[in-house]
Amino acid sequence: MISKALKTLTAATVLSLGMLAAAQAESVLRIRDVGDIQQMDPLLSTNYPMRDMSYLLWDTLFAMDANFEVKPQMVDKYSMSADGKVYDFTLRDKLVFHDGAPVTSADVIASVNRWMTKDSLGQEIAKRLDKIEATGTNSLRITLKEPFAQLLNGLGRMTAYPLFIMPERIAKTPIGEKLPALVGSGPFKLVEWQPGVKFVVEKFKDYVPRSEPASNLAGGKVVKVDRIERITIPDDTSAVNALLAGEIDFVTEVPYDQLSIIESDKNFVVASKPLLGKSLQIVLNHTQPPLNNIKVRQAVQLALNQQDFMSTLLGDRKDLYKLCAAIFMCDAPYATDINSDRYMKPSVEKAKALLKEAGYDGTPITFLHPTDQLFQRDMGTVLVQALRKAGFTVDDRQIDLATMFSRRNNKGTPAEGGWNMFLTAFGGDAMMDPLTNPYVTGACEKAFVGWPCDQDLQARWKSFLLADGQAARKDAAVKIQERANEIVTFIPMGQYYGVSGWSKSVSGMISSPLHLYWNIEKKQ
CATH number at residue 300: 3.10.105.10
Q: Closest by alpha carbon to 521, among 28, 20, 82, 78?
A: 28
pLDDT at residue 289 is higher than 90: yes
Q: Is 175 helix (H, G, I), strand (E, B) or coil?
A: strand
User: Which stretch of 15-19, 226-230, 365-369 has the lowest confidence by average pLDDT?
Assistant: 15-19
One domain for residues 368 and 483: yes
CB-based burial label for 488 (10 Å; 0-12, 13-18, 19+): buried
Q: How far apart are CA 350 and CA 16, in angstroms?
A: 76
Q: Where do the H-state alpha helices sit in 256-293? A: 259-263
One domain for residues 363 and 429: yes
One domain for residues 243 and 323: no
One domain for residues 58 and 98: yes
Query: For the residues 49-68, what does the mean pLDDT come to?
Result: 96
64's enclosing H/E stretch is strand 62-64
One domain for residues 356 and 375: yes
- Chosen domain end from 147, 171, 195: 171
Q: How far apart are CA 432 and CA 436, in angstroms?
A: 8
pLDDT at residue 95 is higher than 50: yes
Q: Measure the CA angle with vertex 197, ends 196 and 200; round to 5°.
A: 120
- Note the pLDDT tens digit of each residue in 206-255: 999 999 999 999 999 999 999 999 999 999 999 999 999 999 999 999 99
One domain for residues 156 and 217: no
Q: Measure the CA angle with vertex 298, ends 296 and 299; round to 5°.
A: 60
| Whether 160 contacts 70, CB under 8 Å | no
Percent of the chain with pLDDT over 70: 95
CATH number at residue 75: 3.90.76.10
Domains contained in the chain, number: 3
Query: For the residues 101-111, what does the mean pLDDT come to?
Result: 98
One domain for residues 324 and 403: yes
pLDDT at 24: 53
Q: Is 420 helix (H, G, I), strand (E, B) or coil?
A: coil
One domain for residues 293 and 440: yes
| Whether 48 contacts 175, CB under 8 Å | no
pLDDT at 524: 78
The answer to the question of residue 13 being in a domain is: no
| Whether 346 contacts 303, CB under 8 Å | yes
519: left (phi over 0), alpha (psi -120 to 50) or beta: left
pLDDT at residue 176 is higher than 80: yes
The answer to the question of residue 14 being in a domain is: no
The answer to the question of residue 111 being in a domain is: yes
Q: Closest by alpha carbon to 437, among 341, 524, 333, 343?
A: 333
E strands, 378-456, in order: 394-399, 421-427
One domain for residues 326 and 463: yes
pLDDT at 418: 98
E strands, 137-255, in order: 139-144, 188-194, 198-203, 227-231, 250-251
Binned at pLDDT 50, 70 and 90, residue 79 comes out as: very high
pLDDT at residue 191 is higher than 90: yes
347 alpha-carbon distance from chain centroid: 33
The answer to the question of residue 125 being in a domain is: yes
One domain for residues 347 and 211: no
CATH number at residue 206: 3.40.190.10
The answer to the question of residue 26 being in a domain is: no
Average pLDDT, the chain: 94
Sheet with 490-496, edge to edge strand ranges: 321-322, 490-496, 278-284, 421-427, 365-370, 394-399
Q: Is 77 helix (H, G, I), strand (E, B) or coil?
A: strand
Residues contacting 381, CB < 8 A, separation 6+? 312, 369
The answer to the question of residue 138 being in a domain is: yes
The one-letter code for the residue type at 404 is M
69 is in which domain, residue-wise? 48-171
pLDDT at 25: 66
Q: Closest by alpha carbon to 444, among 454, 430, 431?
A: 454
Q: How far apart are CA 201 and CA 37, in angstroms?
A: 14
pLDDT at 9: 39
128's enclosing H/E stretch is helix 120-128
Query: For the residues 440-466, what does the mean pLDDT come to?
Result: 97
Direct distance between the N- and C-terminal alpha carbons of the chain, in angstroms, rounded to an integer: 41
One domain for residues 491 and 507: no
pLDDT at residue 508 is higher than 90: yes
Binned at pLDDT 50, 70 and 90, residue 47 comes out as: confident
One domain for residues 321 and 402: yes
The answer to the question of residue 99 being in a domain is: yes
What secondary structure does DSSP assign to 438-506, as a single string? TT---BGGGSSTT--B-HHHHHHHHHHHH--SHHHHHHHHHHHHHHHHHHTSEEEEEEE--EEEEETTE
The answer to the question of residue 176 being in a domain is: no
pTM of the model: 0.90
Q: Could you give the count of Cα atoms lying within 13 Å of 198 in the half-sphere of its Cβ?
A: 14
Query: For the residues 181-201, what does the mean pLDDT come to?
Result: 97
